[in-house]
């Protein structure tokens, strides 16, 4: 798939059992856009033209923006997650995610300590987030459906401190804060 090509040159160290389109891997993958450590099963369903996966995923200095073609919003990410789902691009993504994001570069800011337990799809987030950073400290639980014709939001969020200007969420004074 094209998404694999985004990794660029790859060096893999670890165990690989199976075939090129259906395998279990416990590896360290070093690519041009970051390091991934996996203990995961991948299966490429040729009829559906989609990749399925399940297991533990750890990333260090992985360029999420380049991988998702969203480089204006995202940069490097560091995380330890348990995932189960399918799809390697935003259009086909359907994944249950649970774990911790240690750091995420978002619009030229580094956000630290994000706990996640959610189902993530192309235009859907259903679950919980806890962000414990000096730029954004909030708890969130609920559903965000970003369908272009009928977006919907059903959630509870506790905003303890969100620096809207510094995060470039709104074009306002950088000292503005939401509590």
Q: What are the tens digits of pLDDT across the range 24-54?
A: 989 999 999 999 999 999 999 888 889 999 9
DSSP the chain: -HHHHTT-SEEEEEEEEEETTEEEEEEEEEETTEEEEEEEEEEEETTTTEEEEEEEEEEEEEEHHHHHT-TTTEEEEEEEEEEEEE-SSTTT-EEEEEEEEEEEEETTEEEEEEEEEEEEETTEEEEEEEEESSSEEEEEEEEEE--SSS-EEEEEEEEEEE-TTTTTSSSS-TT--B-
pLDDT (0 to 100) of residue 148 = 78
CA 92, CA 23: separation in Å to the nearest integer? 20
- The mean pLDDT of 125-135, rounded to a whole number, is 95
The model's confidence at residue 2, banded by pLDDT at 50, 70 and 90, is confident
């Amino acid at each position: 798939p094209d998404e694999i090509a985004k990794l660029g040159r790859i060096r893999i160290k670890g165990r690989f059992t199976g075939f090129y389109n259906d395998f279990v891997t416990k590896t360290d993958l070093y690519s041009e856009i970051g390091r991934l450590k996996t203990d995961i099963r991948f299966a490429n369903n040729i009829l559906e033209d989609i990749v399925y996966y399940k297991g533990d995923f750890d990333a260090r200095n992985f360029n999420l923006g380049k991988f998702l073609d969203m480089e204006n919003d995202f940069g490097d990410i560091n995380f330890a997650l348990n995932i189960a789902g399918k799809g390697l691009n935003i259009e086909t993504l359907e994944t249950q995610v649970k774990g911790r994001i240690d750091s995420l570069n978002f619009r030229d800011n580094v956000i630290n300590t994000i706990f996640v337990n959610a189902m993530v799809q192309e235009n859907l987030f259903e679950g919980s987030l806890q962000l414990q950073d000096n730029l954004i400290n909030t708890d969130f639980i609920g559903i965000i459906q970003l369908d272009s014709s009928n977006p919907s939001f059903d959630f509870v969020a506790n905003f303890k401190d969100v620096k809207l200007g510094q995060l470039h969420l709104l074009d306002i004074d950088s000292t503005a804060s939401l509590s």
